[in-house]
Amino acid sequence: MKKAFKHRSTYLLVGLGVLVMNVLAHVQSDMLGVARPLSGYFLPMAIGALIGFLFSLNRLSILEKSAEQKKFFLSIVHSLSIALDERDTYTFGHSSRVMDMSVALAKRIGLHPHDIEALELGSILHDIGKIGISDAILNKPEPLIPEELEVIRQHPVKGERILGESRDPKFRQVIYCIRSHHERYDGQGYPDGLAGESIPICARILAITDAYDAMTSLRPYRGKMSSALALAELRRCAGTQFDPQLVAEFDGVLKDFAGGLEALEKDDGLKVAPC
C-alpha cells in the first residue's frame, strides 16, 4: 500500500500549515472585532485542504493504519472541520460536540472499536455536504422556504460525493454514516427512506446526537432548548424518528457528561415541530 507522503517531514509541514491557517484566521477575527467567523480568504483554503485530506483518507484506508497515524489524520480533519464550522456562527463547535456524544453512546452500547472509529470520522464530517450551500441559507434569520429546505436536504448525498467511491468496506461505513444520518426509524427520512435496522447503526446514533445538539444550540430563527426539553423530544420521537433503544441509552450518556444533571433540571418551554 502506498504512503500518503514520501517524506515524513511533509506531515509536519502540512500540520504546521493547518495550524498557521487557523491561527491567522483567529487573529484576523480579533483584529476585526468579530466573534468567530472564518474569513472568506481562508475558507477556500480550508475547504481545499479538507477535501484533499478526505481523498487521502479514502485512498489510504485510515481505519487500517496504526494508532499514531490515525490520530494524526483525525486531528487534521478535526481541525479543518472546526474551521469550516466557523462559516456558520450558530453551529460553531457542532461537529466536535456531535462526535463526543456519538462516541460516548457507541461505547456505552458496546459497539466494536472499528465501528467506533468509523463513527468518529463520520461524526466529524457528517455535514461536509453543506460546503456548497450559501451563507444566506445557512444563516437565514427565519425558517427556510421549501426550495431552501430542499437544498439543505441534499447535503448528505453531496457529502457522499465529496468523499467519493471507496472499495474499502471499513471506509464505506464512514460514507454510509454520512449519507444516512437524516434517515428516520419509521422510514420517512431522506435521502433513501430507509427504516429500522436497515439504517446503519452509526447513522442511527448520529441522528440522535445531531438532533440533540441542534435543539440545544442557538439558531437564527429560535432560541436554544434546555437539555431537559431536548431529551423529552428525543423520547417522544423514539420509534418514529429515532431508534428507541438508542434513545434510552442516550439518557445515560447525557448524565455522564459534565454538568449534565444540572442542565436536565431546567426547562425553557420552547416548542418544536411534531416528529
Query: What pLDDT, in 10s, does the model give residues 151-191?
Result: 999 999 998 988 776 667 778 888 999 999 999 999 999 99
Distance CA(242)–CA(237), nearest Å, equals 6
Mean of pLDDT values over 222-242: 93
Check whether residue 19 and residue 139 sit in a common domain.
no
pLDDT at 197: 97
pLDDT at 126 over 60: yes
Residue 131 structural domain: 90-270
Check whether residue 3 and residue 134 sit in a common domain.
no
pLDDT at 139: 80
Identify whether 146 is preceded by a cis peptide bond (ω within 30 of 0): no
Whether 213 contacts 225, CB under 8 Å:
no
Check whether residue 60 and residue 99 sit in a common domain.
no
- Kindly state whether residue 55 falls inside one of the protein's structural domains: yes
Distance CA(17)–CA(262), nearest Å, equals 40
Whether 218 contacts 90, CB under 8 Å:
yes
Domain limit, last residue, from 71, 87, 103: 87
Residues 128-145: pLDDT tens digits?
Answer: 888 878 888 888 888 899
Whether 190 contacts 183, CB under 8 Å:
yes
- Kindly state whether residue 51 falls inside one of the protein's structural domains: yes
Split into its structural domains, the chain has a count of 2
Check whether residue 134 and residue 7 sit in a common domain.
no
Check whether residue 83 and residue 97 sit in a common domain.
no
pLDDT at 267: 43
Distance CA(241)–CA(45), nearest Å, equals 37
- Kindly state whether residue 106 falls inside one of the protein's structural domains: yes
Domain limit, last residue, from 27, 61, 87: 87
Q: Which amino acid is at 21?
A: M
Average pLDDT, the chain: 75
pLDDT tier at 71, thresholds 50, 70, 90: low
Distance CA(214)–CA(257), nearest Å, equals 17
Check whether residue 75 and residue 179 sit in a common domain.
no
- Kindly state whether residue 199 falls inside one of the protein's structural domains: yes
Distance CA(143)–CA(220), nearest Å, equals 9
CATH number at residue 150: 1.10.3210.10
What lies within 8 Å, CB to CB, of 29 at 6+ separation is 35, 36, 37, 38, 39
Give the number of other CB atoms < 10 A from CB of residue 260: 15
Whether pTM > 0.75 for this model: the answer is no
Check whether residue 96 and residue 83 sit in a common domain.
no
Check whether residue 152 and residue 230 sit in a common domain.
yes
Check whether residue 222 and residue 208 sit in a common domain.
yes
Check whether residue 44 and residue 131 sit in a common domain.
no
Mean of pLDDT values over 229-237: 96
Check whether residue 71 and residue 191 sit in a common domain.
no
- Kindly state whether residue 157 falls inside one of the protein's structural domains: yes
> Which comes out higher in pLDDT, residue 73 or 7?
73
- Burial code (b: 16+ CB inside 10 Å, e: under 16) for 178-211 equals bbbbbbbbeeebbeeebeeeebbbbbbbbbbbbb
Residues 48-69: pLDDT tens digits?
Answer: 555 555 555 554 455 555 566 6
Q: What end-to-end distance do the CA atoms of the chain give, in Å?
A: 47
pLDDT at 218: 80
Distance CA(53)–CA(97), nearest Å, equals 21
pLDDT tier at 30, thresholds 50, 70, 90: very low
- Output the nine-digit C-alpha cell for 45: 483554503
Domain limit, last residue, from 60, 87, 114: 87
Candidate from 103-107, 147-151, 160-164, 188-192 with smallest mean pLDDT: 160-164
Helices (H), the chain: 8-32, 43-60, 67-85, 94-108, 113-125, 135-138, 146-153, 155-163, 169-180, 201-215, 227-236, 244-256, 260-264
- Kindly state whether residue 275 falls inside one of the protein's structural domains: no
Check whether residue 137 and residue 263 sit in a common domain.
yes
